Structures are given as C-alpha cells and as structure tokens.
Chain A
Amino acid sequence: MRLGKLARSTPFRLAALYVALFLVSLSGGNIVAYNMVATYLYERLDTHVMERYREIQSAYEARGVEGAAAMIGSHGPAINGQETLYLLRGIEGEFLAGNFRVPSVPPGFSTFTGENEGGSSTNYRLYRGTLGEEQLVVGVSYDDTNRLRRIALVSFGWATAIVLGTGLGGGALLAFRTRRRIAILSETMKLVGAGQLQTRLPVSAREDDLDVLAVEVNVALEQLETSVAAMKQVTTDIAHDLKTPISRLYITLEEAIDQAGTDAEAKTRLETALGEVLQISSTFEAMLRISQIEAGARRGCFGPVRLDQLLEEMLEIHQPIAEEAGKQLSLLPRRGVPRIEILGDQDLLRQMCANLIANAIRHTQQGAKIGLTCGHEQGWPFIIVADNGPGIPEAERAKVFKRFYRLEKSRTTEGTGLGLSLVKAVADLHGAHIVLTERSPGLAVRVVFPKCQQV
C-alpha cells in the first residue's frame, strides 16, 4: 500500500524514468567499451604469439634448425600453461624440437586446449608457419586474457547495478521526502477547507518550487482571511446600524400601542405596523444567518450527528402540527443499517429538517401525506422529505433555492422566502447536495451527504 503510493508519486516516477534512460545509455556505452577491450586483448595476444614466433624465426634464419632448436630449448619445459608452447617439425612431420606434441595444427592462427597433469586444462592461441622446409608452431596461453575480459564484463555489470541501485534508492528517498512535504501541505489545506483561515503553509529555507508555491498560497490565504474578516465586520456593522433603528422603531410602536388606550382602530393599525417590523427583523435575521453559514465559520464545531435520531425527533415535534393542518406525517420504513451517522452541525441540521418539513406541511393540500426517511446509498448517507402535494414545476426547481424566490401560487402564504436558501446553505456547509425529484404527484427532497464524513 505504502509502496504503491510511493510508486505513484511524481518525484519517484521522474527518478525511475531518469534511471531508466541513464541505464540505457550506460549499458550502450559499456557494450562498446567491452567490445573494444576484448578486441584489444585478443589483438595483443596475437602480437605476443607472433613476437615469440619471430624470435625462433630469426634464430633459424641465422643458424638453421640447430639455432631454432637451441632457442626453443632455452625456454624450458611446459608447466601448467604459464609458458609458451613450441613445436618444430621436419618435412615429414617428424619431431625436431619443442615442448609439446600434437598430431595436426592448421596453418595460421588457431586455438588448442591442452590437458595438464591433475586434470585441469589450458587454452592456447597457436600460430603455425613454415621455416624453409620445416614447420614451426608457437602457442601462448590466453586464459589470462579471458580472465581480464571477464573482469571487464563483471566490472561493467557492477557499475550498472550500482547506478540502478543508487538511482532508484535516491529517487525513492527524494520521492518520500517530497511526499512528506506535500502531505504536510495537503493536511494544512484541509484545515483551511474546514474554515480555519488563519492557517498558513510551512515554508522551508530551501526556497525551492514547493516553497514558492507555498508562499503564493499563503498570500492568497492572507487575502481570503482579510476579506472574510472584512465581510464579517461589514455584517456586524450592518447588524448594528440597521438593527438599532429597527429596534427603536419597535420600541416606539410598542409604547404607542400602550398609550393608544381605548382607541381600537389606532391600536389595530399600530399592531399591524409592529407585525411588519417583526417581519423585516426576522427576514434580516435569516439573511444574516445564511451569510454566516455560507462563510463556513461553523465548520469548526462539527460533531457526530445521528440522522436517524434527528428524524425521529423531527417526527415527534411535527406530527401533531401536520395533523392539525389535516396532513399526515410519518417515518417511512427504512432499508439497511439502523444507525446513520455523519459529521455535522446538529443545530443547523435540525433547522434544515424543520424547514423542509414546515415547507412540506405549508405547501401541500389537505389530506396530503408527508414521509421522512434516511439511509445509506452505496455509503452515501441521505435524508428524504417526500410529499404527494403539487410538487414544483421542472423549470422552477433550480430557482427555489435562490433567496426570496417564491412560486407564484405561494406568494400569498406566510414565510420569508428564505427557508430553502437556508436549507441550501446548511447543505453546502456539510458538502451535501440536494436533489429534487418529481413523485407524480408530489415532491421528494433528498439531501445526500458526502461519503467520507462518516464517523
């Protein structure tokens, strides 16, 4: 698992690619070098054989067969392949001088394997030439040459192995270190995503490309933090500057109602005005709430929330309300596991459900049925609020989540027009998405939470 991850990392892949390219060029170079060494060694061997041959040849030319035989004799007997082989044969093929005997040797260069005492063997390079009437064979052992050639081959092999080892090992080490740095960066970004905007990426003294990137991200985070803080400040200021006069207006109206005494008409009018002030205030409150939720400040206080228990509680609270309104609210039988747990903000999730249920009760006809359920679909936790009311026309479905958007037919009913915007804001905060489906007749609102938020 870890190794698999390592192999997928960019630095490791780059290192492996580089090592592969280097190996191809290195072995190409090694093959050429090896061939050159081998050719040189064998050429040197042949030169050596010819030198010995010419030695005997010049003795023969000076003093005939006796001279050659004396020169051969001065080189001593053949012992274990350390020496040079000589054979001088007469015109009939008879042995004249030398330190070894073989029945036939082809003219020019050839090879021969001689058996030593004790079973070992020695390889020789032979040259047969003609001196006047006689034939001369000279041989030099090439076992040393073979050994040198093997050493060259093995050393080139080792060089390749060392390059492969250090290349891959170094690549893995680099990849591991880079991975660790990237992991730290990604952990930090997760914190930022969770609403902790004051978090900054660590920057090392190396000033490499990752550090440059980190610095740039930090600058962006700085700006984001500043603008979020500014937005919060603006919200607070508006809240204060707008709510203070609203509050004073409210106070004035309340006092006026108190002082209206028996003037019933004035009292009714003032009460209507008070109602409007309350409506303004609660719309304002809802907008503030939605902006705060959208700003994501609440993500810091997420905890485990049991969706099944949440729905049971909502059922208990809203069932009598639905009944009173002549509608039927029930929990639909569930498939699958009894516990549906997510990571979220309990308070906001309750408000979201309450809004969805209140909406269903408000916008359905007498005798309508409203069902609640929750579950897992391939590990994705969801809740559904479904009804058999008039539903929402396809063309309007995307718009209902917009602020203050209300369907034509429900413009006259109560409500701020912000209920579903709040539902959307809470869903977005939780990384959940909302799916509206036609039930013919009716509407099903499904809120699907992300998989990884399981506790």
Chain B
Amino acid sequence: MMRVLLVEDDKRTSDYISNGLASSGHVIDVLPDGRDALAAGLREPYDIAIVDRMIPGLDGLSLVRSLRAAGGKLPIILLTAMGGVDDRVEGLDAGADDYLAKPFAFSELLARLNALGRRPPIAQEKTVLRVADLELDLARRVAKRSGQIVELLPREFALLEFLMRNEGRVLTKTMLLERIWNFNFDPQSTVVETHVSRLRAKIDKPFETQLINTIRSTGYSLHAPR
C-alpha cells in the first residue's frame, strides 16, 4: 500500500486514476490546484506524487521545482498532454523521476508507480541478484541458471538486471525502451519484443520453469513460478 498524491484538474482523468489505484490497494489524495498540492506535498508524508503538467494555481513543472527546492525526495511522475521532443527533458530537468504522456494505459502508470515507489533499499546494494535458480553476479558480470553459466550480450545483461531488480513487478515496453535502449521515441520496430525473446531463449527455454512472463498488451515481469 502506498500513499499517493495525485495533482490533476481533469475530473475524468483523476477519477480514472484514483479508481484504478484504489482497486490496487493504494490510498490517494486528489488535489486539482498546484498551490494546494505544494502545501500538501510539503506537509504530508506521501510515498509518491503524480503531477499533471497543466494545472491551475501553480503549473506542474513549477510545482516539481518547488518541491525539489524544499529538499523533498518524494518520487514524482509527471503526466502531460505534450509528448514533444523537449517536454520530456524539461520535465526530468525540473526534478521529476518519470514522465508519462497522455493518453496512457492505466497499466503503464501502475507499472511506473510500482517501479518508483518505496523500492526496498537493500536491492540497490546487492552484488548478486537471485530469482529462483537464476543468479546474476553484478560484480563479475556473470549470469547462471541452475548453476550453468549463460552467455549474455551486454545489453541482454542490462535487460536481465533491470527485470531482476524489479522482480515481480510489471515493466512495460516503453519503460524498457527508455531504460535499456535510451529510446524516448517509438522506434517503429519490435525492439523490445525481439530482445526479450532472445533473452528468453537463453535463460528460460533450455530449462523447466519460465521466469520471464509476458503481461498481455503491457509488458513483462520476471518472477519465480507462483
């Protein structure tokens, strides 16, 4: 359960997000005004904030800047109607942790929320990641499944590391494109599908159980069989 601050003036969108989050078991405060949101953001111990870029009172970018200037470490996802070339960079420069262009699937927002919010701090310090019988040695850059060494290309290693760090969480195709390939645009090709399938062929296919799961029309999630 996370406590989420949602700053959004469009009732339709805020209902949609808060309904969705509530049914995923999160607690949401919705504020349509930027100034109110700044006060609330500084006062209340939220786990994460979702901020629309165009809101009355104080615009989204200024709100993010003010929160950061006040020293807040609150993870922030910016929502925007503008998906232009510079808009993303501007948003991240202002101090947002993630950036999502409208329209977005709720699953995309949820995945990003889960990836950002309250990540167990220990996962950052581990040098060996383990999921079931899959083992990734970050220091020695070695991947093993059932004790067998699996040869991975550098980009496949990065992909597997990202999936394992987010064990059990859904990672969307766009998130993978941004994080692994640094593509902040639609590549017009099956970059993610192809590379995930290559990775699968190496770490899943030769073994009994499948660890990389496809989440239909959303993305992928790596976890031990449930």
Contacts and interface: CB of A to CB of B under 8 A. Distances in A.
Interface of A: 235-236, 239-240, 243-244, 246-251, 254-255, 277-278, 281-282, 285-286, 288-289, 292-293, 297-298, 301, 316-318, 320-321, 324, 347-348, 350-351, 354-355, 357-359, 361-362, 415, 419
Contacts of B83: 285, 288-289
Contacts of B155: 316-317
Interface stretch (B111-119, B124-132, B138-146, B181-189): B181-189
Contacts of B82: 236, 239-240, 243, 288
Given A251-B103, A354-B187, 5 more contacts: A243-B81, A244-B10, A246-B103, A298-B85, A359-B188
B13 A282 contact: no
Contact of B106 (A235, A249, A254, A285): A254
B184 A347 contact: yes
B81 A244 contact: yes
B90 to A, nearest CB: 11
A292 B187 contact: no
Contacts of B89: 301
Contacts of B54: 240
B13 A247 contact: yes
A282 B103 contact: no
B114 to A, nearest CB: 18
Contacts of A243: 81-82, 102-103
A324 B184 contact: no
B185 A351 contact: yes
14 contacts: A240-B54, A243-B102, A247-B10, A251-B16, A251-B103, A289-B85, A298-B85, A298-B86, A316-B155, A317-B195, A318-B189, A350-B183, A355-B188, A362-B189
B191 interface: yes
A277 B185 CA distance: 18
Given A240-B54, A277-B103, A358 B85 contact: no
A247 B183 CA distance: 23
A118 B186 CA distance: 108
Interface in B46-101: 54, 81-86, 89, 101
B105 interface: yes
Given A288-B82, A358-B188, A317 B12 contact: no
A254 B185 CA distance: 23
A361 B188 CA distance: 10
A293 B85 contact: yes
Contact of A247 (B84, B103, B184, B195): B103
Contacts of A278: 103
A277 B103 CA distance: 9
Contacts of B195: 317, 320
A324 B194 contact: yes
A280 B177 CA distance: 21
Contacts of A246: 102-103
Nearest to A355: B188
Contact of B16 (A255, A277, A354): A255
A282 B174 CA distance: 13
A347 B183 CA distance: 8
B198 interface: yes
